[in-house]
């Protein structure tokens, strides 16, 4: 161990970075004082293997000689790469991979005792020669598709894998960004990459494509010592060929025809807005993020810029960037794919492809069957497809015209009402601002809370909550999973009014909106993250034409979701596929499946708290999913909370216009009434007594185990399943409590704070007992379910261990909890 450490962790092989609120001069003096006396020679003297100590310097020279570390950046690893570049993009001579052995000695050749030159054995850096045990190693073989068109495939199969995944990449030298020209080229690449990614994510899934995830990117990697241009994709095993064909067709389309003028305009504007927001948040970037950025920038040889400097450079570069420059960058990015066409010019170097898939498919006629030959052939055939240039999509600058909004103001005049509360809190005024947040109600019944927060400059977050979730799904008599599948269908869809899903998604992209719709056990939750400045701007500098603000954009989206959403069959299909994949993956996941079994036992197989199986998902129709979700979206059942770096008065005015004009009877046709509320409504079932012991055996490639301890607990606010509270239980147990203690324990946040302390104390005791003292596990964790609207919940202790120690670890956890109760 010491030899290894002294060989590699030497003072002359170390870089020290400091970022923070420090005095540079004092920091330099401290560094000299603490590290100045440490010498590399002294460290090397501790290497116990004499031959290694003697050859260490020569070996280091050989390792670095001709590598990216020596040729480009001392921060890079001492490796050489098989580059994959266009023929007109020559790789510097010092970065090219030489054949044969690398000389161990540079400069004058050493001589023996008689003065004769010693033979330099050299160093086989690329491990190209024959070695012992080579027959036990699977070497990557380069396939020749056409003369000069090489691909290097590798496949990995495992019985626990659920999906087909593909990683197709090419290695290119890092291009240093040191002046305006190189910065412009990097901006051109970013515009081209943004256009392709949006095509894959938005347009690529219009017809329910085979891939479930796809990403194309090129990143400068200091760890790899190169720029990696990669396609990452996952798909259903039976549809891997379709997925490859579709994704490679989009890449070829970009490489051959470039981006459209509309894409160029929109994504350049988005880059400008991104740079503006980063500059606004410049003094709030954490030291850790700043340090990572500094190290990566310096390692790759780029010029380090502050966020404000980067903003000014971005404005200067984008203001003169042309469509031709972007399309040239697109051709370079996609060259390793377009070059596979039989009539295209080949690139220099191999393209590497790694595919991972489930093990066990042996029938060549099975659509899920894949071997190296089939993989390479599919990629080659996909690159022979004819592709047409992308058509420009008309993306609206605003979703709701001013005329339409004015008509809504006349037909459904909005109004503010005071906020009312059921816990005795005084009503809030409908016409004044309060701190730290302003709470009101609109005349249509929607509750509104607005709070200014400058923690993230020029950013805001809006959350729409409709209480109900999977609890309402069961209470109202909908099919199991209808609410969850419906909410995911909304996420996968997006068409409303006169706009298609593609137009709406591109509107969100242009205005930097992030939308997430999910169904929990107790609510439907719509989350929106947005910029609070003008976005979707056209032009630069004095010629800029401002778009609407991100805040107004998100209000338009929210209004249309509530009153104009179009439910589409293809969106339901994508939603179902997502749930099917999740459930099938759960069946082979040790932690996930065992947690599911614990939840089944804790809740008496209550479907509200369990995953949705494949048969239940397949049984849900579009109308059933629509009815389940829309039944929850009546205005009197909705709450909107908004926080961000904005002017509260302006935001309230937008809420007033866009949300206040929604009719109070909206979605009333979907409302489902409960005649009699079941006993279990709004509460978590109490676990059966006495407690049970469950054991689950799941095939796994590694011998490991997970143990759990679970039991009933209050919800986040201290309410138990039977309706009693933590405060009532504590006061009942402590008959001698003083008036002060009674008052303190009656505080609304008493239980919340007490449960937080219990969680922290339990975690610390588990760590000290199970891990440190008994050394039975690496990790033990205590957590509460933390429901907010449902009464009751459960606690869960999770401990990972070897199979041999799992029972001992479980017993130790139970002992720790028992000791905590005392």
Same domain, 575 and 515: yes
192 assigned to some structural domain:
yes
Q: Which range among 165-169, 495-499, 695-699, 740-744 has the greatest average pLDDT?
A: 165-169
Q: Select the more confidently predicted residue: 724 or 425.
A: 724
Tens of pLDDT, residue by residue over 372-397, are 999 999 999 999 999 999 998 889 99
**Pairing relation of β-strands 523-531 and 514-519?**
antiparallel
The verdict on pTM exceeding 0.75 is yes
Per the model's pLDDT, the better-predicted residue between 189 and 107 turns out to be 189
351-358 and 149-158 beta bridge pairing: parallel
Residue 377 shares a structural domain with residue 406: no
By residue range, what is the domain housing residue 737? 705-821
> pLDDT band at 674, cuts 50/70/90?
confident
Is 583 among the domain residues? Answer: yes
Rounded-to-integer distance, Cα 441 and Cα 410, Å: 20
State how far the Cα of 108 lies from the Cα of 86, in Å rounded to an integer.
Answer: 37
Confidence of residue 420 (pLDDT cuts 50, 70, 90): confident
Model pLDDT, residue 775? 86
Contact, 229 vs 215, CB < 8 A?
no
pLDDT tens digit sequence for 222-241:
999 999 999 999 999 999 99
Q: Is residue 290 part of a domain?
A: no
Entry field: residues in the chain: 822
As beta bridge partners, residue 460 has 530, 644
Q: Any idea what DSSP says for residue 130?
A: -
Q: How far apart are CA 525 and CA 166, in angstroms?
A: 33
Any domain includes 697:
no
Domain end, chosen from 65, 95, 119, is at 65
Least trusted range by pLDDT, from 175-189, 190-204, 205-219? 205-219
**Low-confidence winner among 207-211, 580-584, 608-612, 665-669 (lowest mean pLDDT):** 207-211
Span 313-323, average pLDDT: 93
* Helices and strands of the chain, counted as H and E runs: 27, 16
Q: How many CB atoms lie within 10 A of CB 490?
A: 23
Which comes out higher in pLDDT, residue 42 or 494? 494
Q: Where on the phi/psi map is residue 416: left (φ > 0), alpha (ψ -120 to 50), or beta? A: beta
Residue 50 in this model has a pLDDT that exceeds 60: no
Would residue 408 count as lying in a domain?
yes
pLDDT band at 45 (very low <50, low <70, confident <90, very high): low
Alpha-carbon Rg for the chain, nearest whole angstrom, is 31
Last residue of a domain, which of 643, 670, 697?
670
User: Is position 157 within any domain?
Assistant: yes
Shared domain for 360 and 440, answered yes or no, is no
Predicted confidence at residue 249, as pLDDT, reads 95
Q: Is the pLDDT of residue 428 over 80?
A: yes
Range 571-600 average pLDDT: 90
Last residue of a domain, one of 650, 670, 690: 670
Give start and end residues of each alpha helix (H) in 395-546: 402-411, 469-475, 482-492, 501-510
Mean pLDDT for the chain overall: 88
Question: Tokens standing for 114?
Answer: 């008689």
Q: Are residues 375 and 427 in the same domain?
A: no
**Which one has a higher pLDDT value, 490 or 540?**
490
Q: List the single range of 107-111, 780-784, 817-821 with lowest mean pLDDT.
A: 107-111
**768 backbone dihedrals φ, ψ, rounded to 5°:** -70, -35
The pLDDT score that the predictor gives to residue 344 is 92
Examine the domain organization and report whether 235 and 349 are in the same domain: yes
- Is the pLDDT at 46 greater than 70? The verdict is no
Please give the share of the chain, as a percent, with pLDDT higher than 90: 60
Looking at per-residue confidence, does 775 or 633 come out higher? Answer: 633
Q: What is the CATH number of the domain that holds 795?
A: 3.30.70
pLDDT mean over 533-559: 82
Structural contact between residues 463 and 640, judged by C-beta atoms closer than 8 angstroms: yes
**Mean pLDDT for the stretch of residues 61-84:** 78
Is 691 a member of any domain? no
Cα–Cα distance measured from residue 625 to residue 683, given in angstroms and rounded to the nearest whole number: 24
Give me the helices (H) in 643-725, please.
Answer: 648-654
In a shared domain, residues 665 and 714: no
Query: pLDDT (tens digit, 9 = 90+) per residue, 753-808?
Result: 999 999 999 999 999 998 888 888 878 899 999 999 999 999 999 998 888 888 99
Q: What pLDDT band is residue 299 in, cutting at 50, 70 and 90?
A: very high
Q: How far apart are CA 713 and CA 763, in angstroms?
A: 16
Taking Cα atoms as reference points, which of 451, 356, 495, 493 lies closest to residue 641? 451
Whether 158 and 246 share a structural domain? yes
**Does residue 11 surpass a pLDDT of 80?**
no
Same-domain pairing of 41 and 170: no
Same domain, 525 and 658: yes
- Indicate if the pLDDT at residue 150 is higher than 60: yes
**Total structural domains in the chain?**
4
Q: What is the CATH number of the domain that holds 269?
A: 3.30.830.10
Which carries the bigger pLDDT value, residue 174 or residue 79?
174
Q: Are residues 223 and 191 in the same domain?
A: yes
Task: Answer yes or no: is pLDDT of 398 > 80.
Answer: yes
Helix or strand (DSSP H, E) at 224: none
Assess if residue 130 is contained within a domain.
Answer: no
Max Cα distance, the chain (Å): 107
Residue 173 pLDDT more than 90? Answer: yes
Asked if 731 and 812 sit in the same domain, the reply is yes
Q: How far apart are CA 495 and CA 502, in angstroms?
A: 8
Q: Are residues 408 and 343 in the same domain?
A: no
Which band of pLDDT confidence, cut at 50, 70 and 90, is reported for residue 436? confident
CA atoms in the 13 A half-sphere facing the CB of 253: 21
Percent of the chain with pLDDT over 70: 90
Q: pLDDT at residue 474 above 80?
A: yes
Q: Is the pLDDT of residue 53 over 60?
A: no
In this predicted structure, the answer to whether residue 590 has a pLDDT above a threshold of 80 is yes
Indicate the SS3 state at residue 808: helix
Give, in degrees to the nearest 5, the angle at Cα 248 between 245 and 250.
110
């Amino acid at each position: 161990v010491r030899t290894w450490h002294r060989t590699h962790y030497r003072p002359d092989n170390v870089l020290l970075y400091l970022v923070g609120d420090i005095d540079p001069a004092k920091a330099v003096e401290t560094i000299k004082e603490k590290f100045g006396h440490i010498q590399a020679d002294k460290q090397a003297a501790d290497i116990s293997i004499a031959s290694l100590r003697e050859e260490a310097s020569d070996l280091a020279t050989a390792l670095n000689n001709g590598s990216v570390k020596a040729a480009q950046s001392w921060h890079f690893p001492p490796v050489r790469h098989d580059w994959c570049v266009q023929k007109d993009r020559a790789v510097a001579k010092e970065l090219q991979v030489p054949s044969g052995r690398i000389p161990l000695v540079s400069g004058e050749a050493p001589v023996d005792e008689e003065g004769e030159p010693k033979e330099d054995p050299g160093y086989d850096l690329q491990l190209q020669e024959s070695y012992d045990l080579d027959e036990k190693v699977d070497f990557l073989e380069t396939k020749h598709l056409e003369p000069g068109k090489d691909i290097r495939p590798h496949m990995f199969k495992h019985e626990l894998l659920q999906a087909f995944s593909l990683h197709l990449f090419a290695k290119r030298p890092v291009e240093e960004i040191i002046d305006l020209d190189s910065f412009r080229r990097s901006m051109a690449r970013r515009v081209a990459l943004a256009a392709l990614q949006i095509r894959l994510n938005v347009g690529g899934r219009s017809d329910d494509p085979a891939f479930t995830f796809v990403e194309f990117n090129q990143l400068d990697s200091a760890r790899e010592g190169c720029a990696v241009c990669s396609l990452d994709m996952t798909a259903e095993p039976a549809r891997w060929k379709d997925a490859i064909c579709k994704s490679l067709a989009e890449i070829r389309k970009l490489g051959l025809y470039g981006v459209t003028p509309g894409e160029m305009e929109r994504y350049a504007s988005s880059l400008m807005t991104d740079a503006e927001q980063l500059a606004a948040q410049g003094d709030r970037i954490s030291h850790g993020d700043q340090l990572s950025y500094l190290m990566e920038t310096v390692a790759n040889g780029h010029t380090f810029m502050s966020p404000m400097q980067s903003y000014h450079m971005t404005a200067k570069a984008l203001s003169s960037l042309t469509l031709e420059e972007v399309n040239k960058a697109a051709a370079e990015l996609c060259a390793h794919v377009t070059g596979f066409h039989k009539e295209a010019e080949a690139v220099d170097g191999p393209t590497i492809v790694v595919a991972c898939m489930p093990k066990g498919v042996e029938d060549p006629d099975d659509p899920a069957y894949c071997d190296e030959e089939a993989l390479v052939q599919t990629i080659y055939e996909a690159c022979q497809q004819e592709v047409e240039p992308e058509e420009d999509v008309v993306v609206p600058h605003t979703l709701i015209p001013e005329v339409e909004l004015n008509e809504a103001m006349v037909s459904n005049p909005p109004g503010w009402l005071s906020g009312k509360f059921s816990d005795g809190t005084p009503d809030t005024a409908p016409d004044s601002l309060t701190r730290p947040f302003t709470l009101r109600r609109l005349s249509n019944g929607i509750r509104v809370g607005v709070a200014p927060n400058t923690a993230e400059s020029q950013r805001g977050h809006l959350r729409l909550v409709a209480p109900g979730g999977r609890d309402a799904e069961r209470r109202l008599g909908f099919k199991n999973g209808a609410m969850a599948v419906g909410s995911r269908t909304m996420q996968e869809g997006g068409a409303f009014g006169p706009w298609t899903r593609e137009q709406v998604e591109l509107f969100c992209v242009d205005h930097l909106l992030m939308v997430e719709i999910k169904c929990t056990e107790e609510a439907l939750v719509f989350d929106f993250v947005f910029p609070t400045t003008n976005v979707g701007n056209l032009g630069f500098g004095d010629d800029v034409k401002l778009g609407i603000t991100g805040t107004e954009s998100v209000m338009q989206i929210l209004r249309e979701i509530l009153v104009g959403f179009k439910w589409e069959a293809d969106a339901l299909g994508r939603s179902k596929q997502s749930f099917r994949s999740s459930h099938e993956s759960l069946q082979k996941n040790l932690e996930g499946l065992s947690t599911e079994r614990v939840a089944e036992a804790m809740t008496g197989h209550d479907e509200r708290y369990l995953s949705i199986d494949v048969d239940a998902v397949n049984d849900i129709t579009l109308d059933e999913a629509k009815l389940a979700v829309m039944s929850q979206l009546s205005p009197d059942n909705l709450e909107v909370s908004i926080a961000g770096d904005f002017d509260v008065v302006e935001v309230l005015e937008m809420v007033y216009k866009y949300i206040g004009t929604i009719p109070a009877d909206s979605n009333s046709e979907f409302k489902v009434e409960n005649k009699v509320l079941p006993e279990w409504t709004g509460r978590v079932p109490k676990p059966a007594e006495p407690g049970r012991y469950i054991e689950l055996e799941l095939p796994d490639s590694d011998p490991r185990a997970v143990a759990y301890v679970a039991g009933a607990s209050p919800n986040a606010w201290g309410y138990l399943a039977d309706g009693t509270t933590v405060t009532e239980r504590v006061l009942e147990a402590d008959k001698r409590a003083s008036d002060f203690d009674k008052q303190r324990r009656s505080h609304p946040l008493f239980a919340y704070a007490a449960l937080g302390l219990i969680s922290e104390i339990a975690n610390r005791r588990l760590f000290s007992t199970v891990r440190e003292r008994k050394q039975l596990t690496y990790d033990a964790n205590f957590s509460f379910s933390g429901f907010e609207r449902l009464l009751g919940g459960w606690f869960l202790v999770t401990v990972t261990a070897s199979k041999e120690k799992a029972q001992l670890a479980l017993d130790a956890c139970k002992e720790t909890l028992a000791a905590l109760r005392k």
